């Protein structure tokens, strides 16, 4: 028999801009919340109902944190795969509290940005005003190469 599996898969929208922090070790981490919604039709009233659940996400690892910092914002649609972890902490009064989070760390995690290409390009343009000239040139060349891929979207296979 197989031991156990701890894997969470979520597809949803960010409820707030990511919080990027630097830990004591000097490495970065990102945290944010994702909303997922479930819709159904009430059999008695034929009314469409919706229930939204919020999930706390924490990301460790320079590569993923850099992507989140540059391209993810409130409202972004993302797909995440990670592990469910519960940590214990104490509030100001010394009471024990528990927080359950989806943690993306190491090789068993995945982050996929699902926003349309136009939204990503708009974010790049907005971010360029805050960057140096070298980074602007790098982003311009990468956005030009992605523009050449636009014709591939019209192919039906």
- Encoding tokens for residue 46? 């034929």
Give the pLDDT confidence score for residue 113 in this predicted structure: 93
pLDDT at residue 83, rounded to an integer: 95
- % pLDDT > 90, the chain: 62
Is residue 14 within 8 A of residue 22, CB to CB? The reply is: no
pLDDT tens-place string over residues 72-117: 999 999 999 999 999 999 999 999 999 999 999 988 899 999 987 5
**Distances, alpha carbon 19 to alpha carbons 23, 25, 88, 108, 124, in Å:** 12, 17, 20, 22, 19
CA distance 22 to 133: 25
DSSP state of 106: G
Task: Give per-residue pLDDT as tens, 125-144.
Answer: 343 333 333 333 333 334 44
Can you spell out the DSSP letters for 5-31?
---EEEEEEESS--EEEE-TTS-EEEE
Instruction: For residue 73, give Cα distances in angstroms to 17, 24, 30, 124.
Output: 5, 25, 12, 12
Query: What is the pLDDT at residue 137?
Result: 35
Q: 92: which 2 tokens? A: 């100001």
Confidence tier at 147 by pLDDT (50, 70, 90): very low
């Amino acid at each position: 028999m197989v031991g156990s599996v701890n894997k969470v898969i979520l597809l949803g929208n960010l409820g707030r801009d990511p919080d990027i922090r630097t830990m004591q070790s000097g490495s970065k981490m990102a945290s944010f919340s994702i909303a997922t919604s479930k819709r159904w039709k009430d059999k008695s009233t034929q009314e469409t109902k919706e229930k939204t659940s919020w999930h706390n996400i924490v990301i460790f690892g320079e590569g993923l944190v850099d992507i989140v910092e540059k391209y993810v914002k409130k409202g972004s649609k993302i797909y995440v795969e990670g592990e469910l972890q519960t940590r214990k902490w104490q509030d100001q009064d010394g009471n024990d509290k528990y927080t359950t989070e989806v943690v993306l760390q190491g090789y068993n995690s995945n982050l996929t940005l699902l926003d349309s290409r136009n939204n990503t390009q708009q974010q790049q343009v907005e971010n360029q005003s805050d960057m140096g000239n070298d980074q602007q040139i790098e982003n311009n060349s990468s956005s030009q190469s992605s523009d050449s891929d636009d014709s591939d979207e019209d192919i039906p296979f």
